[in-house]
Amino acid sequence: MADKQLKRWIWQHPGWPVFRWDPAHLTAPLAAARKAQGELTGMARLLDPDSDLRARFEVLTAEGIATSAIEGERFDPDALRSSLANRLGLPATGLPNPPRFIEGLVDVLLEATRDTQAPLTLAILASWQGALFPTGRSGLAEIRVGALRGPAPMQIVSGPVGRERVHYEAPPRRGLEQQVTRFLDWFDAPPRNLDGLLRAGLAHAWFELLHPFEDGNGRVGRALLDRALAQDEPRAARLFSLSSRFMAVRGEYYAALEALSVESLDATAWLEWFLVQVAAACSDSTGIIESVLRKTRFWMRHAQASLNDRQRKVLNALLDAGPGGFIGGMTNRKYAHMTHVSPATAQRDLAELVARGLLRAEGGGRSVRYELAETPAAPQ
């Protein structure tokens, strides 16, 4: 607890929770974030309804994987894809049946951006948290789900036992209902002149500082962020994933939140960092739209091709990976592993794809590899 004695946490400040920031310092990053959003929206206009749905599917997949990975949670991405495909009405052939916790995560991802004009309530937040832990456990530990945390201090700690470092201690349990209520009142009725991106950044940080649940605060807080961004967007479905961006710079993400948690109510540095991530996330998502457009055009050209499910799965994987995405190209061994067939069956499938002009073979013997026929050949 030595850290606590040296610090005053932000919620101990007499002005809490009234944040302040320097608007002049945020003018440039806010303009850059809005410009990146506009460019992404412009690209999205090239998508037909089916392609738009597939782009949303890819963004939600990235969001689900990343928001869990930030917390150290790992799972089979195909299980997430299966659940999302079923919910969005897309084919889920060959994908596994998702476990309950994946279904819960998908519930949260979709509910966060559904009916965004309805007030956000504690009951909604608690239902999101409960959906993430359908067994009432986090790992082996039994936790409180669907309700605010218990009386024990809520600390974010790292380091070995006996030499722990307290990065942050959240407000005490007593009075937490009132603090959450104040936050939700602000979220549903923010100042009229507050820019939507600044509101989203403040909402996420404020919720994380409250840390109202025993577990799942990060994932619930990022779902809340998705809701705020959806309320700010003119589109029905957002096409960029901030969780993916946060995962890419996870150390910076935690450091930025930790810096805000101590003493000062000045959120300028946090908001500047947040706006930079919005711009970067939009830039990253141009690749998703390009990939969806590439797949759409590919399947339009080959709409009459008679292919089995295995071949379609591998072709889609190559399209998703993009040029050079499969290091060493597709091989017989990789194909057999991905489709769970024998090497002989894999070889027949690949030979058919080459004969039909969808793949080309490079090299020979055991080193032969396969690329999409429409991908430029690698220099010799």
Summarize pLDDT for 250-301 with one digit per residue, the tens. Answer: 999 999 999 999 978 999 999 999 999 999 999 999 888 888 888 888 888 8
158 and 95, same structural domain? yes
Examine residue 377 and state whether it is found in any structural domain, yes or no: no
Q: What 3-state class would DSSP assign to 162?
A: coil
In the chain, the amino acid numbered 44 is A
Q: Which of 292, 327, 361 marks a domain boundary?
A: 292
Residue 328 pLDDT class (50, 70, 90 cuts): confident
Residue positions counted in the chain: 380
d(CA 12, CA 115): 35
pLDDT tens across 202-256, in order? 999 999 999 999 999 999 999 999 999 999 987 767 899 999 999 999 999 999 9
128 is a domain residue = yes
Q: Report pLDDT for 161.
A: 84
pLDDT, tens digit, for every residue of 38-55? Answer: 999 999 888 888 889 989
- Which residues fall within 8 angstroms of residue 19, CB to CB, at 6 or more apart? 202, 206, 265, 266, 267
Is residue 80 located within the same domain as residue 31? yes
Same domain membership, residue 332 and residue 274: no
In the predicted model, what is the mean pLDDT of residues 181-201? Answer: 97
Residue 380 lies in a domain: no
Helix (H, G, I), strand (E, B) or coil at 380: coil
Residue 69 lies in a domain: yes
Domain assignment of residue 221, yes or no: yes
- Coil/strand/helix, residue 46: coil
CA–CA separation, 284 vs 248, rounded Å?
11
Residues facing residue 361 across a β-bridge:
370
Domain end, chosen from 244, 265, 292, is at: 292
Highest-confidence range of 86-100, 119-133, 305-319, by mean pLDDT? 119-133
On whether both 45 and 190 belong to a single domain, the answer is: yes
| Per-residue pLDDT, 294 | 84
pLDDT of residue 46: 86
Q: Which two tokens stand for residue 200?
A: 């989203």
Cβ neighbours around 129 below 10 Å, total? 27
Helix (H) or strand (E) segment spanning residue 328: none
Kindly state whether residues 253 and 338 are assigned to the same domain: no
- Residue 245 falls within a domain, yes or no? yes
Task: Please report whether residue 140 resides in a domain.
Answer: yes
Crossing angle (nearest 10°) for helices 268-301 and 196-210: 110
Instruction: Count CB atoms within 10 A of the CB of residue 179.
Output: 19
C-beta of residue 358 within 8 angstroms of C-beta of residue 315: yes
Which of 292, 323, 358 corresponds to the end of one domain?
Answer: 292
Neighbours of 41 (CB within 10 A): 15
CATH number at residue 6: 1.10.3290.10
Q: Where are the alpha helices (DSSP H) in the chain?
A: 2-6, 23-44, 49-69, 77-88, 100-112, 122-132, 176-188, 196-210, 217-232, 242-248, 250-260, 268-301, 309-321, 332-339, 343-355
Domain total for the chain?
Answer: 2
Structural domain contains residue 297:
no
Range of the domain at 280: 2-292
Instruction: Identify whether residues 312 and 260 lie together within a single domain.
Output: no
The pLDDT tens digits of the residues spanning 86-100 come to 999 998 877 899 999
Return the top range by mean pLDDT from 60-64, 94-98, 313-317, 367-371: 60-64
Same domain for 271 and 193:
yes
